[in-house]
Amino acid sequence: MLTLTSLLLRPTRHQLHHRHVIKHLSTTAGPAATNPSPPLTVPLSHPIYLIWSSNTSLGKTLVSAGLAASSLLSRHRRRSFLYLKPIQTGYPADSDSHFVFSKLTSLVRRSPHLSLLASNHVLKASASAASSISAPQAPKNFDKGMRDLDWCEERRVVGDNSETGPISELLCKTMYAWGDPVSPHLAAEREGGAVEDSALLKMLQRCLQIGVGKEKADSFCVVETAGGVASPGPSGSLQCDLYRPFRLPAILVGDGRLGGISGTISAYESLKIRGYDVVAVVFEDHGLVNEVPLASYFRNSVPVLVLPPIPQDLSDDLMEWYDDAHNVFDSLMEIMLSAYTERTKRLHDMPRRAVDVFWWPFTQHTFVSEGDVTVIDSRCGENFSVFKAQNDDVITQQFDACASWWTQGPDATLQTELARDMGYATARFGHVMFPENVYEPALECAELLLEGVGKGWASRTYFSDNGSTAIEIALKMAFRKFSYDHGILLDHLKENTAERYPELVVLALKGSYHGDTLGAMEAQAPSSYTGFLQQPWYNGRGFFLDPPMVFLSNNMWNLSLPEGLHSRSLNLKNMTFGSRDDIFVKSRDKSDLAGIYSTYISEQLSKFPESKGYIGALIIEPVIQGAGGMHMVDPLFQRVLVNECRKKNIPTIFDEVFTGFWRLGTESAAELLSCFPDIACFGKLMTGGTVPLAATLATNAVFDSFIGDSKLKALLHGHSYSAHAIGCTAAAKSIRWFKDSQRNPNITSKGSLLSELWDDKLVYQISSHPAIQRVVVLGTLCALELRVEGCNAGYGSRYASSLLKKLREDGVYMRPLGHVIYLMCGPCTSPKVCNEALTKVYRRLEELSQSQNN
């Protein structure tokens, strides 16, 4: 293809060149990539805007051309302007990129002092659209499918001072073209030219790259959508969803006609609820003064600009109209440039401002400089959009591999659904008081919890605001139930009584973690979280057992016993497992190991001195201990422990704040243990990770222990925002979505399990890596303990810092638990995404080993 600079050979005023070449007759689909895809990246070195409209045929392309003229021909003069049309139907009769190309070259010819290099490209077209190109090289008969084209028309306009004056460049590109003048999804279907969203976004990313250095900074780009805001793209996805991963700032072309106020507001709200920033609204004047009610609706937060009426007589090719409209386009350009400058300044300033005002949790600020702060511009599905200010400012995607502290589950589709439903709940309810009241979101959520994670055992739902407080509530429930069952429930109606009540403590496991509030911390064994530095009031009101652990190492699932069980006579076959599934089989209940566990637990409980009080509750994290280091407790041990407590009439609490809602591959981790609790706590993933909400579920027997003839016997615990409608709405949507095989492709045919998300071969390969001590993989979790010694071990270790910094450069955001690193996806995350992230981890582990060996 000719370069634009090669056209400036003679000082003629106007030249036109066309290239019509079909490079490939094969379809664009190729073999699947074996390497992980690089993250989507958007440059911020120059302004880039999406041009939307509230409906089709409202003048998006006229606005694009006007912005190009303002950028290249007016006082805003920039060196280059890039116009992108990702989706074009009705081609070649309709070609918006050709319109911008021809309109600008016509406008510049009226300014003798200006020089312009202009080109218009069509990159890919359906077979039928390609066959309609009039060129000798183009065959007339094609099979269906998309074709790679090398089609270009080029013009140069040389001004009077072309020897010394600046030369502007206009680059117009149509990315995908179809011949049928219908909605893109229909055109793609009819012409056999399907294009996946991911392919379109990757193509768009490549097209957004403009030059280098000063040339890049002196550019301006618009991306014009097709049809209206919610018009489908070629795959059927709505375009407002299709382009959401880039979250480019938006210009909305509204409707100045009768009915246009409603359509414009609807389009604006469709963009807003998806997280787009609408910088301005512009529309053609139809004499109805639509700008007044629109400005009132926007409360002057979004500028509304009005273009002059488009003449019916187009004999002058709109030249006079553009003359009349140039002040509006110049104003619009000023708004866009100002918004771009303000945005980039905010992004640059945020790390400095953050380190001055934030007190981050679980963070030693000594180790955090401005350069260490991750600036998150937005989130789309499983990915952060992160601002990076390096050689060039960019927004790049990072896979949220810690699920934002284990809360996240939605893909991009569910995220949008949640935003819409939560907006509805906000508009309908705001917040309403919960005690003795009922409203649909709370009732629906409570019933779904009992029919789902509480199925088969729970009958009551108690709402709170986060996991730690859910635990506090559970402890109150359990202790009341224990006191009720064991005849030690005294008359609490007596006031100012000096009588001493019995001390109640918990039975729990070492390495457990149940939250940060004071009561929840008392229910866990001494750890880095409970020491005097963190919790001077901590007493550890419990009896803490050391549990056996299961892990993958050197291609084998192994059982590790605590010191108290080492002396027991165990067959070696009981210490290893042929597969992870063998760990969970119920037939293990009949094994010798089950008997050994039972004896060990009984012996330990007998050692608890009565002088310390009563063991009033058992509390465990079923299967996986999260914050304690992502350890897998032998499910047989926990099952035996629950049974032993049942014999002693000790209520059982399952802390499922982390493990619930498919985090471990089942809706409730109780399914993995094959036993039920009396009380269970849920949070985090319950709302899809959108807003805080927690629930404590209980049996009828627990509930009945609070029934009496006095309010003082009720459960006197609550929060101002208990069962808030927004959270309950989000929870109901998420609970249904995660278990629906039509919406979540990871749900197996039986509907009770997630399919395997992590590549088994790669997981076993990592388990044998010299840098890895152990691996735990289950459901959405893949945890790796790095092989370390001495001060590099433990929660305070910074050993993993350099490794995780490199992984963030690879587009994988991870946060360690000391020398334990982990990947965590959502229930809807595709195995492909999981394994791309895991592959990046493996490659960095290889680099780590090589550097240690050198």
**Residues 774, 552 contacting (CB under 8 angstroms):** yes
Each residue's pLDDT tens digit, 212-229: 555 667 899 999 999 999
Residue 5's pLDDT is what? 29
Q: Where residue 27 falls among pLDDT bands split at 50, 70, 90? A: very low
Q: Where residue 276 falls among pLDDT bands split at 50, 70, 90? A: very high
Burial class (CB in 10 A: 0-12, 13-18, 19+), 225: buried
Burial class (CB in 10 A: 0-12, 13-18, 19+), 419: middle
Q: Which of 44-53, 133-142, 724-733 has the lowest mean pLDDT?
A: 133-142
- Cα–Cα distance for residue pair 790/819, rounded to 1 Å: 11
Residue 589 has pLDDT above 50, yes or no: yes
Each residue's pLDDT tens digit, 357-367: 999 999 999 99
In total, the chain counts a number of residues equal to 854
Q: State the residue for tokens 């958007």.
A: 42
Q: DSSP string spanning 351-367?
A: HHHHHHH---TT--GGG
Each residue's pLDDT tens digit, 141-185: 555 788 998 799 999 988 776 565 678 999 999 999 999 999 999
CA distances from 767 to 238, 323, 838 (A): 42, 69, 12
- Cα–Cα distance for residue pair 540/534, rounded to 1 Å: 13
- Cα–Cα distance for residue pair 736/729, rounded to 1 Å: 11
Q: Where residue 211 falls among pLDDT bands split at 50, 70, 90? A: low
Q: Where residue 6 falls among pLDDT bands split at 50, 70, 90? A: very low
Query: Mean pLDDT for the chain?
Result: 90
Q: Where residue 313 falls among pLDDT bands split at 50, 70, 90? A: confident
Residue 567's pLDDT is what? 62
Higher pLDDT: 417 or 575? It is 417
CA distances from 65 to 115, 177, 558 (A): 17, 20, 67
Q: Which CATH architecture has domain 45-131+143-159+166-313+320-347?
A: 3-Layer(aba) Sandwich (3.40)
The structure tokens listed for 757 are 């998300």
Each residue's pLDDT tens digit, 556-577: 999 999 988 876 666 656 789 9
Scanning 258-358, the segments in alpha helix (DSSP H) are 260-272, 291-298, 319-357
Residue 850's pLDDT is what? 86
**Residues 231, 239 contacting (CB under 8 angstroms):** yes
Domain residue ranges of the chain, discontinuous segments joined by +:
45-131+143-159+166-313+320-347
The helix/strand count (H/E) of the chain reads as 23, 30
Residue 583's pLDDT is what? 97
The structure tokens listed for 736 are 């249904």
CA distances from 188 to 130, 177, 234, 278, 641 (A): 14, 9, 6, 29, 59
Each residue's pLDDT tens digit, 99-124: 999 999 999 888 888 889 999 999 99
Q: State the residue for tokens 């005097």.
A: 532
**Mean per-residue pLDDT, 661-685:** 97
Q: Which of 489-493, 801-805, 841-845 has the lowest mean pLDDT?
A: 489-493
Q: What angle do CA 492, 498, 504 make, to 5 degrees?
A: 60
Residue 750's pLDDT is what? 78
**Mean per-residue pLDDT, 783-811:** 95
**Mean per-residue pLDDT, 32-59:** 87
Residue 76's pLDDT is what? 64
Residue 502's pLDDT is what? 83
Q: Which of 197-211, 447-461, 761-775 has the lowest mean pLDDT?
A: 197-211
Scanning 648-699, the segments in alpha helix (DSSP H) are 670-673
Residue 111's pLDDT is what? 81
Higher pLDDT: 390 or 343? It is 343
- Cα–Cα distance for residue pair 138/151, rounded to 1 Å: 11
Residue 482 has pLDDT above 80, yes or no: yes
**Mean per-residue pLDDT, 785-792:** 94
Q: Where residue 36 falls among pLDDT bands split at 50, 70, 90? A: confident
